[in-house]
Amino acid sequence: MKLISWNIDSLNAALEHKSARGELTWQTLNAIAQLQPDVFAIQETKAKATGLTKKQNATLAELFPGYYQYTNSSTGRPGYAGTLMLARVKPEKVTFPTIGAPGEMDMEGRIITLEYPDLYISTVYTPNSGSELRRLADRQAWDDAYRAYLLGLDAKKPVIASGDYNVAHQEIDLKNPQSNHHSAGFTDEERDKFSQLLASGFIDTFRVLHPDQTGVYTWWAQISKTAKINNSGWRIDYYLASQRLKTKLQDFQVLDTGERRDHAPICVEWDL
């Protein structure tokens, strides 16, 4: 089983590909289609509250023929956050859960979960703590609620969960840990919550395969022209899984996006 996850930072920008960056995003999307993943999870679609347009649906259907499509759009802030999943095999059930998160977080289309006979496949777009950490307290409440949600799934059957978790867990997960110690995504509070999530019964698939590897990142600041050139990045996109799936894990890759900064897709393969 091959699974791919990607924070695309605007699905429409990719599908329209009218800008230079949009063209790079479109190229990456086509490369993913060629890989024919069993499930493709997308975060930060920035879709309308009503979902994808007819044109967007048609373009996706052409790129991923025969795939089942599930969209969770923000009904709070329009054109914000949002998730989407494409699956080659129709799931038994699809849920767009609310987890009791604070504020409008539950209205921002942040989670989709597909249920299959033997496991759940879920994706999440974790809220960012924001500039000056204004949202850090809410983010911590989200982390607690999300951990409880995954544990609820895990009690029924194994879980594979992907997404932009907006946290670099360890110092080896970003290029400049010292200067970013109190930045959103690398605060002690966020890292501790992620540790709690793993300790509750989940594995970080990349670290299982590469426990000490450095210099592997999934995000490079878009505003910095040299971030990608210098590989000054962060690893904040993950595939997590129930501990009991550890022996089934085969491979993990960060897919190349060339000159494009921001998030890179991640791909994990399983013997399932």
Report how far residue 213's alpha carbon sits from residue 206's, in angstroms, rounded to the nearest whole number: 9
Burial class for 172, CB neighbours closer than 10 Å (0-12, 13-18, 19+): middle
Identity of the amino acid at 153: L
State which residues of the chain have pLDDT below 50. Answer: none
Read off the pTM: 0.97
- Give the per-residue pLDDT at 141: 97
β-sheet bridge partners, residue 136: none
- Give the per-residue pLDDT at 82: 97
Report how far residue 148's alpha carbon sits from residue 100's, in angstroms, rounded to the nearest whole number: 10
DSSP string, 3-27: EEEEE-S-HHHHHH--SHHHHHHHH
112 touches 70 (CB < 8 A): yes
Report how far residue 3's alpha carbon sits from residue 23's, in angstroms, rounded to the nearest whole number: 23
Catalytic residue numbers read: 125, 164, 263
- Give the per-residue pLDDT at 83: 98
Q: What domains can be seen in the chain, in order of their start residue?
A: 2-270 (3.60.10.10)
DSSP state of 162: E
Shortest CA distance to 75 belongs to which of 109, 101, 43, 42? Answer: 109
204 touches 249 (CB < 8 A): no
Report how far residue 139's alpha carbon sits from residue 127's, in angstroms, rounded to the nearest whole number: 6
- Give the per-residue pLDDT at 203: 98
DSSP state of 179: T
Phi and psi angles of residue 238, each rounded to the nearest 5 degrees, phi first: -140, 155
Binding residues for Mg(2+): 7, 44, 164, 166, 262-263
- Give the per-residue pLDDT at 37: 98
Report how far residue 80's alpha carbon sits from residue 100's, in angstroms, rounded to the nearest whole number: 19
Shortest CA distance to 44 belongs to which of 102, 84, 77, 87? Answer: 84
Report how far residue 150's alpha carbon sits from residue 153's, in angstroms, rounded to the nearest whole number: 5
